[in-house]
Amino acid sequence: MSMLTPPGMGGKYRITGRRFPHMRRPRNPRRVVLAAVAAVAVLGLGGWGTIQLVDVFSGGGSGSPQAARKSADCGRDGHGDTTDARAAGRSAPRELPRPGDITVNVYNATPRSGLAKTTADELKARGFRIGKVGNAPAPYDKNVEGTALLLGSPDDADGAMRVLQEQVGEATVKSDVRKGTDIDLIIGAGFKELRPAPDASRAPAAPHPAPSSPAPSKSAAKC
């Protein structure tokens, strides 16, 4: 047996020259399958992580922080559904009553006689309903320095009294406690006559108009 023959060969193999026999374990098919599965799993996880990173830095996706901030900005700027909610909740301007629905009591607080009667006739010709006509009550007799004083229910301050004020002009408006809906017109020392009919018949502006929503700019993000 040659000295180059490995122990245990029993002389079955003889080594000659410079080449040696390669001894390796037989391949296990189970290990090969497990290794392939592990490699596929690693590649899959790596690809999924890459997609998530690209999605975050590009600002896409409904669940990304950029998308959440965009949705919040749309709601805050009024370009989303909140615009319709605000428009639905906004109350319409109050409709003013017609002269035929307003009853006016005309009182004269000046020394000039017949002023209440002529003023009541003029208001009646313009469509108003006339109630009492006469001298002003004692607390107001000769104590109204301005053009006129309008007294009525607080509910009529932005309605019937506003319509009557358009007829009188510069009149002071005050509210008192009363059960009826009639209005007292107390003629003061500064009164000369009612406003001209064309100006008085002009429809008064509705109080407290609702502000219009600004149009969205072209550079605003679409929601």
**Cα-based angle 108, 114, 120 (whole degrees, multiple of 5):** 70
* 2 in a structural domain: no
* 12 in a structural domain: no
**Cα-based angle 177, 183, 189 (whole degrees, multiple of 5):** 105
pLDDT tens digit sequence for 127-165: 999 999 999 999 999 999 999 999 999 988 889 999 999
Whether 223 shows a pLDDT value over 80: the answer reads no
* 130 in a structural domain: yes
* 90 in a structural domain: no
**Which residues pair with residue 184 across a beta bridge?**
105, 151
206 φ, ψ (degrees, to nearest 5): -70, 135
* 139 in a structural domain: yes
- Give the closest residue to 120 by CA, choosing from 173, 181, 160, 167: 167
Structure tokens at 71: 């949705």
Q: How far apart are CA 79 and CA 215, in angstroms?
A: 9
- pTM (predicted TM-score): 0.50
pLDDT tens digit sequence for 12-51: 555 555 555 555 566 667 777 788 888 878 787 777 777 7
- Tokens 């690693």, residue? 42
Question: 94 near 202, Cβ under 8 Å?
Answer: no
| Structural domain total, the chain | 1
* 159 in a structural domain: yes
**Which residues pair with residue 103 across a beta bridge?**
129
**Which residues pair with residue 152 across a beta bridge?**
175
Q: 115: domain range?
A: 101-185
Residue type, 182: D
For residue 84, the tally of other CB atoms under 10 A from its CB is 10
Residue type, 98: R
Q: How far apart are CA 128 and CA 106, in angstroms?
A: 11
Element (H, E) at 42: helix 29-58
Q: How far apart are CA 115 and CA 178, in angstroms?
A: 25
Structure tokens at 52: 């998530």
Give me the CATH number covering residue 169. Answer: 3.30.70.2390
pLDDT of residue 134: 96
Whether 194 shows a pLDDT value over 80: the answer reads yes
* 119 in a structural domain: yes
* 153 in a structural domain: yes
Structure tokens at 114: 């017949």
Return the sign of the alpha-carbon dihedral for residues 96, 99, 104, 106.
positive
Residue 213's pLDDT band (boundaries 50, 70, 90)?
A: very low
**Which residues pair with residue 173 across a beta bridge?**
150
Kindly tell me the burial class for residue 51, based on how many C-beta atoms sit within 10 Å of its own C-beta (0-12, 13-18, 19 or more).
exposed
